C-alpha cells in the first residue's frame, strides 16, 4: 500500500481544511490501488452531495451499497476504512506533497494515454492531441484562489496599484506615451491598415527593436515566406536598403550579422505556416516544441496576420459567418496571450471604404467588428500622398485599454520603406496633427506630485 495515498485518505476523513483544499484537484484514477480508489470515490460522492465530511461508519455503509464489488473486495475495503485513524500532519507539507503526487500521477497517466493513442488504440483522439494531453498533465497544480475579496484584500489591491507592470517598450516615443511605456503581457494588440500601407513593416520594425532590447521574439507568418520576413528584418537591423541585400558580399553580410549578435542577448525565431492553415492550437504546439528543442520562451509574439489564421473552434465549418469566425480567431489569440503570459501583436485589413480614407474608424475593420471588441489596443496606420511625400505615416488610436485614447489620438511617425524602418519625427511634425488635449498627458512621476488630498482626514 502506497504510504502517501493512505495518508491522503486518512486526512480527507479527519482534516476538513485539507479536504476542502485538495478535493477539487484529486481524481479517482490517481489511486493505483482499487480499494483506495473506491474509498476516495465514496468520500468525494458524500462531500459533493452533503457538503460534509463522512465518518468511517458512513463510508462502510456506502461501500456496502455498491454493486460493483464482491464480498472479498468489500472485506478488504472495510479493513482499509477501519485503519483510517486520525494522525495529525503538518498541513503545508501535506498540501505540497499531495500536489506533487497529483502531478506525478497525472503525468504518468498522460504518458500511458499518449502511448495508447500513438499505437492507434483510441477512436476519439489522434496523435495531434498528445501535446495537449501532456501539457495539461504538466500544468496540474493546486490553485485555491476563488476571487478578490474587496474589503479583506485591500492591502494586496493597493500594492497592485503601485506595482510596476512588466511591459515590452517601443523605440517610438508616441507609442510609448499612448501605452504608458509599452505593451503589457496577456494582451492582444492590433494594427489596422489597407493593403501595402505598412502592417508587416510595422511588425518587422517592432520585432527588430524588441530583439535589440535583449528579449526573445517569435514571429509567425501566414502571408510571406520566412526568408522574406527575415529579409525585411535584415534591412532594418543591418541598415541596408532591402533591394541591396542580395548584392552584399557574403563576408560583409557575415560580419554585420555577427556584430549584431554581440549587441543582444535575445533570440528571434520566424515560423511560416501556409495561409489559413494554422490556429491557436498549432501555435501552442509550436511554443511547446520550441521550449523542448531550443529552450526558447518568447517575450512577445507577432502573428502576420490575424485574418488569415484559422479558428480551432470552427475548423472545416464553411457555413459560419465572417463576424463569428474572425471574432473567434481574435478570442483564441487573446487566450493564447493570457496562457503564454506574453503580448501578441497582429494586424487586420481595412474595408474597401477605409482603404483610401485619411480618417479610418473602428467601423472600417474588415470582416468582423468582433475583432476590435476583443483587442486591448487597436490603432490605424494611415498613408496619403501628402504623407508619402514627407516619408511619414499617420497613426490613429481606435481603442486603448492602457490609457485615455483621446490623448495623442493622432500622431505621425517617419517611415523608411527601403530599410523597413519607422522613426520618431520632429515635434513640429506633430503640432498640426495631434488632437487637442495633449497637454493633459503627463508621466506617472508628475502625476504623483499632483495630489489633491489637502484636507483629507487619514
For residues 268 and 414, state if they share a domain: yes
Number of domains in the chain: 2
As a whole number of angstroms, the longest Cα–Cα distance in the chain is 91
Identify whether 62 is part of a domain. Answer: yes
Q: How far apart are CA 163 and CA 450, in angstroms?
A: 19
- Cell 485539507: give the residue: 18
For residues 180 and 124, state if they share a domain: no
For residues 124 and 268, state if they share a domain: no
For residues 324 and 283, state if they share a domain: yes
Bridge-based pairing of strands 377-382 and 392-400 is antiparallel
For residues 412 and 361, state if they share a domain: yes
53-66 burial, b at 16+ Cβ within 10 Å, e below that, comes to bbebebbbebbeee
Range of the domain at 286: 167-439
Identify whether 158 is part of a domain. Answer: no
Q: Where are the beta strands (DSSP E) in 27-90?
A: none
pTM of the entire predicted model: 0.66
Identify whether 61 is part of a domain. Answer: yes
Whether the CB-CB separation of 130 and 114 falls below 8 Å is answered with yes
For residues 63 and 106, state if they share a domain: yes
For residues 76 and 177, state if they share a domain: no
For residues 110 and 259, state if they share a domain: no
Identify whether 155 is part of a domain. Answer: no
Which CATH number do you get for residue 94? 1.10.860.10
Give the Cβ contact number of residue 265 at 10 Å.
Answer: 11
Which CATH number do you get for residue 286? 3.40.50.300
For residues 188 and 234, state if they share a domain: yes
For residues 127 and 71, state if they share a domain: yes
Identify whether 55 is part of a domain. Answer: yes
Q: Looking at residue 215, what is its pLDDT?
A: 95
Identify whether 154 is part of a domain. Answer: no
pLDDT tens track, the chain, 458 positions: 568 999 999 999 999 889 888 888 889 999 999 999 999 999 999 999 998 999 999 999 999 888 888 889 899 999 999 999 888 889 889 988 999 999 899 999 999 999 998 888 887 788 878 887 887 787 777 765 667 788 888 888 888 777 777 899 999 999 999 999 999 999 999 999 888 888 999 999 999 999 999 999 999 999 889 999 999 999 999 999 999 998 989 999 999 999 999 988 999 999 999 998 899 989 999 999 999 888 999 999 999 889 889 888 776 556 778 888 888 899 999 999 999 999 999 999 887 655 556 667 777 676 667 788 899 999 999 988 888 899 999 999 999 999 998 889 999 999 999 999 999 998 877 877 755 444 444 444 444 444 555 555 54
Identify whether 456 is part of a domain. Answer: no
Contacts of 95 (CB under 8 A, 6+ apart): 18, 21, 22, 142
For residues 120 and 175, state if they share a domain: no
Identify whether 421 is part of a domain. Answer: yes
Whether the CB-CB separation of 18 and 96 falls below 8 Å is answered with no
For residues 77 and 198, state if they share a domain: no
Whether the CB-CB separation of 398 and 362 falls below 8 Å is answered with yes
Amino acid at each position: 500500500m502506497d504510504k502517501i495515498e493512505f495518508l491522503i485518505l486518512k486526512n480527507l476523513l479527519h482534516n476538513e481544511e485539507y479536504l476542502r483544499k485538495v478535493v477539487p484537484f484529486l481524481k479517482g484514477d490517481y489511486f493505483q490501488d482499487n480499494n483506495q480508489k473506491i474509498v476516495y470515490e465514496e468520500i468525494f460522492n458524500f462531500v459533493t452531495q452533503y457538503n460534509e465530511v463522512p465518518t468511517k461508519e458512513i463510508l462502510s455503509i456506502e461501500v456496502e451499497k455498491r454493486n460493483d464489488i464482491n464480498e472479498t473486495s468489500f472485506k478488504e475495503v472495510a479493513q482499509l476504512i477501519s485503519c483510517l485513524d486520525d494522525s495529525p500532519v503538518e498541513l503545508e507539507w501535506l498540501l505540497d506533497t499531495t500536489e506533487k503526487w497529483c502531478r506525478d500521477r497525472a503525468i504518468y497517466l498522460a504518458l500511458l494515454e499518449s502511448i495508447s493513442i500513438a499505437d492507434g488504440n483510441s477512436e476519439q483522439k489522434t496523435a495531434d492531441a498528445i501535446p495537449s494531453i501532456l501539457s495539461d498533465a504538466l500544468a496540474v497544480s493546486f490553485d485555491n484562489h476563488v476571487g478578490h475579496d474587496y474589503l479583506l484584500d485591500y492591502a494586496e489591491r493597493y500594492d497592485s496599484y503601485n506595482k510596476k507592470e512588466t511591459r515590452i517598450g517601443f523605440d517610438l516615443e508616441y507609442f510609448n506615451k499612448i501605452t504608458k511605456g509599452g505593451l503589457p503581457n496577456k494582451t492582444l494588440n492590433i494594427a489596422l491598415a489597407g493593403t501595402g500601407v505598412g502592417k508587416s513593416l510595422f511588425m518587422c520594425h517592432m520585432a527588430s527593436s524588441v530583439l535589440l532590447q535583449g528579449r526573445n521574439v517569435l514571429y509567425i507568418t501566414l502571408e510571406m515566406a520566412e526568408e522574406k520576413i527575415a529579409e525585411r528584418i535584415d534591412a532594418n537591423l543591418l541598415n541596408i536598403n532591402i533591394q541591396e541585400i542580395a548584392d552584399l558580399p557574403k563576408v560583409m553580410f557575415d560580419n554585420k550579422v555577427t556584430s549584431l549578435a554581440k549587441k543582444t542577448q535575445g533570440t528571434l525565431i520566424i515560423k511560416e505556416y501556409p495561409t489559413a492553415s494554422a490556429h491557436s492550437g498549432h501555435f501552442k504546439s509550436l511554443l511547446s516544441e520550441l521550449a523542448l528543442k531550443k529552450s526558447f520562451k518568447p517575450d512577445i509574439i507577432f502573428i502576420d496576420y490575424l485574418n488569415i489564421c484559422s479558428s480551432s473552434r470552427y475548423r472545416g465549418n464553411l457555413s459560419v459567418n465572417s463576424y463569428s469566425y474572425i471574432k473567434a480567431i481574435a478570442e483564441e489569440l487573446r487566450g493564447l496571450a493570457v496562457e503564454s503570459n506574453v503580448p501578441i501583436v497582429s494586424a487586420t485589413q481595412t474595408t474597401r471604404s477605409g482603404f483610401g480614407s485619411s480618417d479610418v474608424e473602428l467601423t472600417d475593420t474588415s470582416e468582423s467588428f468582433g475583432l476590435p471588441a476583443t483587442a486591448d489596443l487597436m490603432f490605424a496606420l494611415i498613408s496619403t500622398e501628402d504623407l508619402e511625400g514627407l516619408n511619414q505615416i499617420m497613426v490613429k488610436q481606435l481603442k486603448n485599454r492602457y490609457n485615455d485614447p483621446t490623448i495623442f489620438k493622432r500622431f505621425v511617425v517617419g517611415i523608411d520603406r527601403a530599410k523597413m524602418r519607422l522613426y520618431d519625427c520632429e515635434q513640429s511634425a506633430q503640432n498640426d496633427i495631434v488632437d487637442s488635449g495633449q497637454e493633459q498627458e503627463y508621466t506617472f512621476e508628475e502625476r504623483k506630485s499632483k495630489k489633491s488630498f489637502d484636507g483629507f482626514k487619514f
